[in-house]
Amino acid sequence: MSRVDYYDIEPLLTPEERLVRDTVRQFVDREVLPIIGDCFERAEFPKQLIPRLAELGLLGMDLEGYGCAGLNYTSYGLACQELERGDSGLRSFVSVQTSLCMYPIRTFGSEEQRQKYLPKMATGELIGCFGLTEPDHGSDPSGMETRAVRDGDSWVINGAKRWITNGGVCGLAVVWAKTDEGVRGFVVERGARGFEVRDIHHKLSLRASVTSELIFQDCRVPAASLLPGTKGLRAVLMCLNDARFGIVWGAVGAATSCFETALEYTKTRTQFEKPLAAFQLTQEKLVNMLTEITKAQLLAYRLGRLKDAGQAKPGQVSMAKMNNVRIALEAARTARGMLGANGISLEYPVFRHMCNLESVYTYEGTNEVHTLIIGQDITGIAAFA
Ligand code: TGC
Ligand code: FAD
pLDDT of residue 270: 98
Residue 314 beta carbon below 6 angstroms from any ligand 1 atom: yes
**What is the best residue among 133, 202, 205 to mutate for testing ligand 2's pocket, by most ligand atoms within 8 Å of CB?**
133
Q: Within its chain, how far is the Cα of 34 from the centroid? A: 22
How much is the pTM? 0.98
Contact 88, 209 (CB under 8 A): yes
**CB crowding 52-87: b at 16 or more within 10 Å, else e:** ebbebbbbbbbbeebbbbebbbbbbbbbbbbbbbbb
Would you call 311 exposed, middle or buried from its count of C-beta atoms within 10 A (0-12, 13-18, 19+)?
Answer: exposed
Mean pLDDT by runs of 10 across the 385 residues of the chain is 87 98 98 98 98 98 97 98 98 98 98 98 98 98 98 97 98 98 97 97 98 98 98 97 98 98 98 98 98 98 98 98 98 98 98 98 98 98 97
Ligand 1 atom closest to the CA of 99, numbered from 1: 55
pLDDT of residue 3: 78
Q: In 204-275, where does DSSP find H-type helix?
A: 233-268
Distance between CA atoms of residues 296 and 276, nearest Å: 26
| Strands, E assignment, 83-153 | 128-131, 147-151
pLDDT of residue 1: 55
Residue 206 beta carbon below 6 angstroms from any ligand 2 atom: yes
**E strand or H helix that includes residue 95:** helix 88-95
Ligand 2 atom closest to the CA of 133, numbered from 1: 25
**What is the best residue among 233, 238, 360, 368 to mutate for testing ligand 1's pocket, by most ligand atoms within 8 Å of CB?**
233
Distances (CA, A) of 183 to 53, 233, 266: 32, 6, 52
Can you identify the CATH homologous superfamily of domain 10-122? Acyl-CoA dehydrogenase/oxidase, N-terminal domain (1.10.540.10)
Q: What is the dihedral of CA 301, 303, 307, 311, to 10 degrees?
A: 130
Residue 368 beta carbon below 6 angstroms from any ligand 2 atom: yes
What residues does CATH 1.10.540.10 cover in the chain?
A: 10-122
Distance between CA atoms of residues 163 and 276, nearest Å: 41
Distance between CA atoms of residues 300 and 7, nearest Å: 13
Distance between CA atoms of residues 98 and 90, nearest Å: 12
**What is the best residue among 139, 214, 237 to mutate for testing ligand 1's pocket, by most ligand atoms within 8 Å of CB?**
237
Residue 165 beta carbon below 6 angstroms from any ligand 2 atom: yes
In the reported structure, the alpha carbon of residue 367 is separated from the centroid of ligand 2 by a whole-number distance in angstroms of 9
What residues does CATH 2.40.110.10 cover in the chain?
A: 128-225
Say which CATH class 234-379 falls into. mainly alpha
Considering every ligand atom, which ligand is closest to the CA of 174?
2
In the reported structure, the alpha carbon of residue 367 is separated from the centroid of ligand 1 by a whole-number distance in angstroms of 14
pLDDT of residue 225: 98
| Strands, E assignment, the chain | 128-131, 147-151, 154-165, 172-179, 182-189, 195-199, 211-222, 270-271, 274-275
Residue 132 beta carbon below 6 angstroms from any ligand 1 atom: yes
Taking CA atoms only, the protein residue closest to ligand 2 atom 39 is: 163
318 phi and psi, to 5 degrees? -65, -45
- Architecture of the domain whose range is 128-225: Beta Barrel (2.40)
Contact 321, 243 (CB under 8 A): no
> What is the per-residue DSSP string for 38-76?
HHHHHT---GGGHHHHHHTT-TTTTS-STT-----HHHH
DSSP structure class, residue 29 = I
Taking CA atoms only, the protein residue closest to ligand 2 atom 53 is: 138
In the reported structure, the alpha carbon of residue 144 is separated from the centroid of ligand 2 by a whole-number distance in angstroms of 13
